[in-house]
Structure 1
Amino acid sequence: MTPPTSAVPPSPPAAGPAGAAPAWARTGPAIALLAAAAIPMVGQMYSVLALLGPMAEDLGSTPHALTWVSTAFALAYAVGFLFAGPLCARFGPRATITWGLVATAATTALVAAAQSPESAIALRALQGLTTATLAPAAFAYVAEHIRPEHRPAAMTAVSGAALASAPVMQIAAQGITLVAGWQAVFLVSAAALLAAAPVARAVLLPSRNDGRRGLLGAFAAMPGLFFEPRPAALFAATATLLGGFVAVYTAVTVAGPPEIAGDDGALLVLRASALPAMVAVPFLAGVLGRWSAGTRAVAGLALAALSVLATALMGGSTIGLGAVLLVFTAAILVAAPALVQSIGEHAGPERQGVGTALYAFSMFVGAGIGPQLAAGAAGLGFAGIVVVVAGVLLLGALLAAAARRPSA
């Protein structure tokens, strides 16, 4: 069986004049816009990992306590997905993306005004809600407006940009903070998002069904799929995936080997070490596609667990830890699309959109728990944290294995 290229169900193209060819969007400009917007938008999840120290010092807290600014964002982001999908169905991808960029520019700028840990946490939660508008609308736009033969590359580009935002935005945040302070990170991000909104309005096509699709049907389908045994196991495995990813990078910041955690240059190298994997893994999609989605999900999670364990052996070696984190990131990049594809296969065509929303919800619930996992295990030291994280990822691999279809 040939696996589907996406968990987003394709829609018929917008109709042109009678008898004319379908009015597909121009792939290049649309995907360039969506990928470019994904980096500062989705990257708000990760940029704060590079700011825990400066923010804690300025707000009278500690990096461990301030991990809640990451957790609050991630949990609100996860909840936002449950609403963003139906809103996209009601108003269309272009309107959802455009107004989502404007709203996120506003909430991002507000974070820079935080005067206490409590206000920073509350404002980050608000930011997470608005940021959730982009991903489901971007995937829906690809499914509705991009030529079928271009959709695999389009999905890879958008997904890759979202994942690449983790190291890119951490590196950018670290650099901006050194020059202008942590508040400038959010102000620069807000300006970039606001500038992207009119470009999105100009480049993206309106939905042919804007304003005519309902909200209730999408909400009603969610509970049934979420509690079916095999999809439920996959949703749980998904939570371990990004939870483990965020926990590892949080651990490097708050409890890493002293030679690394206190060295801005070493932290910059570690954050950049994931970039080659972001570039290389999409080019391996054809080779990886020879295996079923279930097999790739289990293998990716298992490799992620093993590579996390290996970080405990690297000591204070920046190069050694960077090499292991490169493998770790590659494993995450293999497992993530395999999990969403597996969920889509279990959901079936009628519920694939709902499955995608629940996948994103589960992923970012995990991302919210990840910083607390690292902070809670900080007393064990860096080596102890990564052993705990490896155990969580191994549990994810076992759940993904249990959820495999008999033919997978």
Structure 2
Amino acid sequence: MSHPTNALDHTTGSGTPGRPPGWAPAARTTALLTTLGMLMVGQMYTVLALLHPMATEFGTTPGQVTWTATAFGFAYAAGFLFAGPLCDRYGPRAVITVGLAAATASTAAVSAVFDLPTAVVLRSLQGLTAATFAPAALSYVVRHIAPRHRGTSLTCITSGMLAAAVVVQVGAQSVAAGIGWRAVFWISAVLMALNLFPVRRVLRPTPRGGTDGGLLQAFAAMPRLLRQPRLGALCLSTVALMTAFVSLYTAVAIAGPPAVTGDATATLALRASALPALIAVPLLVPVLGRLPAPLRAALAFALASLTVATGSFLGGHTALLALALLLFVAAVAVAAPAVVETINANAPQARGAAVALYGCSMFIGASLGPQLAGALTGLGFDGILLVVAGVLLLGASLILPAMRHPTP
């Protein structure tokens, strides 16, 4: 993923070409933010691997427990709208630090719940505190990483956030099988706390000159952006993308094909099958970047829809379904940065607000995903996949205006 950066390049140091003295070290910064992105965003997806043990302990159904994912996602989406302006005012490192400390406490609290209503409330608090990370991380990269490394860094971070859906589910399933579902949350809390020191050590404070203008000015940009039809359509396409992404993984958990349902090993393998795609996509950035971002996004949506629709006709064959999931996740990993690049190109004067709206759209979609899958369980796994394919086609159609009327 790459962002238009001309307006920001002058804010962070000067010096010799390639790596001016003011630029942050790209490799260390990218590694830290990618790892943290997987951990923080991954909290959205932990419960998808814990639906059955949590439902058993709470005396309810896995479908009802999906509300813990939805509550997290809506709070996370709302948190984005506040975190973006806070980054502009106080700087990304400060927001990441405070947010990480708050998320540590809220995540530890989730491990102690004993009923579903309390779990839903605490998961909302966890989502609100975890939401500080992603907009702050993207803002930090745009401000502090040299332009020639910025596209790769952003792609790695966003791919890490998508990889969280796979990696964290695999890890959560393994931990829950060994020492119980509560351990997933307190282990996550410990990992968050341990990352406080690297954040302060690796990341740099943002000069005050890059954060003036105040909170009210930053918030005021958002409604102006949403009144632009193309930006509104792009945000809705992001909602469609993440609704489809999370719906598919939820469907695997609660309505999986007979060859997978009840077989923990098969479920784990199916979840892990998409990992190679999330590793490969960042390596393809130079090739993918040759296509205009709107076209790249539309093609990726279409590929995702095709693979999901094909998956519905595979009869639950695990190996073929794993291949379809691999292609689906690869398409999502290409589409997500292409959409945010298109959004940024359509909001050159308010990129911080645009990133916040993009993130909010992502997690509105991620919140709707579990509920869509839960509502469609009567259709069976194959029926859910066909609906997901239709949602992706709708998302592709929402990108078309940006293709027909490119930003000058």
Structure 1 gap segments, 5+ residues each: none
- Which residues of 2 match residues 328-347 of structure 1 at below 5 A? 328-347=328-347
- Which residues of 2 match residues 308-319 of structure 1 at below 5 A? 308-319=308-319
Q: Is the 8 A contact 1:234 1:399 kept in 2?
A: yes
**1:6 and 2:3 aligned:** yes
Q: Is the 8 A contact 1:7 1:356 kept in 2?
A: no
Deviation at 1:328, TM superposition (A): 0.4
Q: In terms of mean alpha carbon deviation, does 6-15 or 261-270 score higher?
A: 6-15
Counterparts of 1:321 and 1:172, CA distance in 2: 21
Q: Is the 8 A contact 1:110 1:123 kept in 2?
A: yes
Counterparts of 1:343 and 1:390, CA distance in 2: 23
Letter in 2 for 1:283: L
Q: Is the 8 A contact 1:13 1:24 kept in 2?
A: no
Counterparts of 1:248 and 1:7, CA distance in 2: 32
Cα distance, 1:266–1:233 mapped onto 2, change above 3 Å = same
Counterpart secondary structure, 2:33? helix
Deviation at 1:22, TM superposition (A): 3.8
Letter in 2 for 1:169: V
**1:227 and 2:227 aligned:** yes
Letter in 2 for 1:156: T
RMSD of equivalent CA atoms: 1.8
Letter in 1 for 2:302: A
Deviation at 1:382, TM superposition (A): 0.9
Runs of 4+ in 1 over 2 A off after TM superposition: 7-17, 210-213, 402-408
Deviation at 1:16, TM superposition (A): 8.3
Counterpart secondary structure, 2:205? coil
Counterparts of 2:27 and 2:285, CA distance in 1: 20
- Which residues of 2 match residues 50-69 of structure 1 at below 5 A? 50-69=49-68
TM-score under structure 2 length normalisation: 0.95
**1:168 and 2:171 aligned:** no
Q: In terms of mean alpha carbon deviation, does 179-188 or 279-288 score higher?
A: 279-288
Alignment: residue pair count: 402
Deviation at 1:37, TM superposition (A): 1.1
- Which residues of 2 match residues 133-148 of structure 1 at below 5 A? 133-148=132-147
Deviation at 1:227, TM superposition (A): 2.5
- Which residues of 2 match residues 22-171 of structure 1 at below 5 A? 22-171=21-170
Deviation at 1:405, TM superposition (A): 4.0
Q: C-alpha offsets along residues 353-391 of structure 1, whole Å, 9 cap, x if unaligned?
A: 211111111111011111110000111111111111111
Q: Is the 8 A contact 2:12 2:144 kept in 1?
A: yes
Deviation at 1:340, TM superposition (A): 0.7
Counterparts of 1:195 and 1:84, CA distance in 2: 22
Counterparts of 1:351 and 1:269, CA distance in 2: 42
TM-score under structure 1 length normalisation: 0.95
Counterparts of 1:326 and 1:359, CA distance in 2: 24
Q: C-alpha offsets along residues 127-150 of structure 1, whole Å, 9 cap, x if unaligned?
A: 111111111111111111112222
Counterparts of 2:383 and 2:31, CA distance in 1: 41
**1:279 and 2:276 aligned:** no
Q: Is the 8 A contact 2:2 2:337 kept in 1?
A: no
Counterparts of 1:278 and 1:16, CA distance in 2: 34
**Residue of structure 2 equivalent to 1:237:** 237
Counterpart secondary structure, 2:260? helix
Counterpart secondary structure, 2:3? coil
Counterparts of 1:394 and 1:16, CA distance in 2: 45
Q: C-alpha offsets along residues 42-89 of structure 1, whole Å, 9 cap, x if unaligned?
A: 111112110111111111111111111111111111110000001111
Counterparts of 2:10 and 2:175, CA distance in 1: 44
Q: C-alpha offsets along residues 285-316 of structure 1, whole Å, 9 cap, x if unaligned?
A: 11111211111111111111111111111223
Counterparts of 2:294 and 2:158, CA distance in 1: 19
Percent identity for Structure 1 against Structure 2: 50
Counterpart secondary structure, 2:182? helix
Q: In terms of mean alpha carbon deviation, does 145-154 or 40-49 score higher?
A: 145-154
Letter in 1 for 2:220: A
Q: Is the 8 A contact 1:98 1:198 kept in 2?
A: no
Structure 2 gap segments, 5+ residues each: none
Counterpart secondary structure, 1:403? helix
Letter in 2 for 1:288: L
